[in-house]
Amino acid sequence: EAGVAQSPRYKIIEKRQSVAFWCNPISGHATLYWYQQILGQGPKLLIQFQNNGVVDDSQLPKDRFSAERLKGVDSTLKIQPAKLEDSAVYLCASSWGRGAFFGQGTRLTVV
Amino acid sequence: SQQGEEDPQALSIQEGENATMNCSYKTSINNLQWYRQNSGRGLVHLILIRSNEREKHSGRLRVTLDTSKKSSSLLITASRAADTASYFCATVLGGYQKVTFGTGTKLQVIP
């Protein structure tokens, strides 16, 4: 079974630039999560999709972050414009209800 | 916001010893899960315990859940150097299975 795929693995951008991350979940998983993990902390949920609908985005900074999940499969997370404090690992996960499966993450550095 | 808090924050033991990590959380849950994260990698799901279960085993892992105290513990028996990683508890609640992570315990197993 293929795992959750994320790209890119690493990204370095200057503040005020924009960036996008891509996630391909495990086939058949209805739930997709995006998490932000700052070094030394636990992952923080940014947004959760059920199929292609958003069910929780309470911690998503909506003035700069956006996400979509097209046709209930792949998802993209965008940051525009980026700030220094957005430097973190962005993790995508998918689930069918018995535990979440994570991708390797995208390490974003904002300079 | 973090739902769970884990202690200790860091733990260093000799190979062969047992490691115990504790997790406390704030609200009623559907189930509680434990994850492992090796440095620079994504999270790996270890074990899920439902709210009506008190104890669960998987190989060298033993998880307990006390819903009256809103706490859980993860015991790793006969630890190995390969167990060196960060361990996170995650609470799952709501009809859409929102997964919220704790602050994590960093475990070092010394060969």
Asked if the C-beta of A51 comes within 8 angstroms of chain B's C-beta atoms, the answer is: no
Parts of chain A with a pLDDT under 70:
1
The pLDDT assigned to B2 comes to 53
Per CB-CB distance under 8 Å, the chain A contacts of B33 are: 99-100
Per CB-CB distance under 8 Å, the chain A contacts of B103 are: 41-42
DSSP for B62-74? EEEEETTTTEEEE
Q: Is A64 left (phi over 0), alpha (psi -120 to 50) or beta?
A: alpha
The pLDDT assigned to B4 comes to 74
How wide is the angle at C-alpha A42 spanned by C-alphas A54 and B107, nearest 5°?
145
- Average pLDDT for B28-32: 92
Instruction: With H, G, I as helix, E, B as strand and everything else as coil, classify residue B21.
Output: strand
Substitution target from A7, A46, A48 for chain B, most B beta carbons within 10 A: A48
DSSP for B43-54? EEEEEEEETT-S
**Whole-angstrom distance, CA of residue B49 vs CA of residue B86:** 19
**Whole-angstrom distance, CA of residue B57 vs CA of residue B68:** 21
The pLDDT assigned to B96 comes to 84
The pLDDT assigned to B93 comes to 87
Using 50, 70 and 90 to split pLDDT, how confident is the model at B3? low
Q: Which residue of B has its CA nearest to A30?
A: B96
Give the residue with greater pLDDT, B3 vs A9: A9
Give tens-digit pLDDT for B31-86. Answer: 999 999 998 788 999 999 999 999 999 999 999 999 999 999 999 999 999 999 99
8 Å CB contact of A100 and B42: no
Asked if the C-beta of A41 comes within 8 angstroms of chain B's C-beta atoms, the answer is: yes
The pLDDT assigned to B5 comes to 84
The pLDDT assigned to B72 comes to 97
8 Å CB contact of B97 and A97: yes
Substitution target from A46, A47, A102 for chain B, most B beta carbons within 10 A: A102
The pLDDT assigned to B73 comes to 98
Nearby residues of B103 by Cβ (< 8 Å), 6 or more positions away: A41, A42, B2, B4, B5, B6, B9, B88
8 Å CB contact of A41 and B104: yes
Q: Which residue of A has its CA nearest to B46?
A: A99
Query: Is the predicted pLDDT of residue B1 greater than 70, yes or no?
Result: no
Per CB-CB distance under 8 Å, the chain B contacts of A105 are: 41-42
**Whole-angstrom distance, CA of residue B105 vs CA of residue B95:** 28
DSSP A58: T
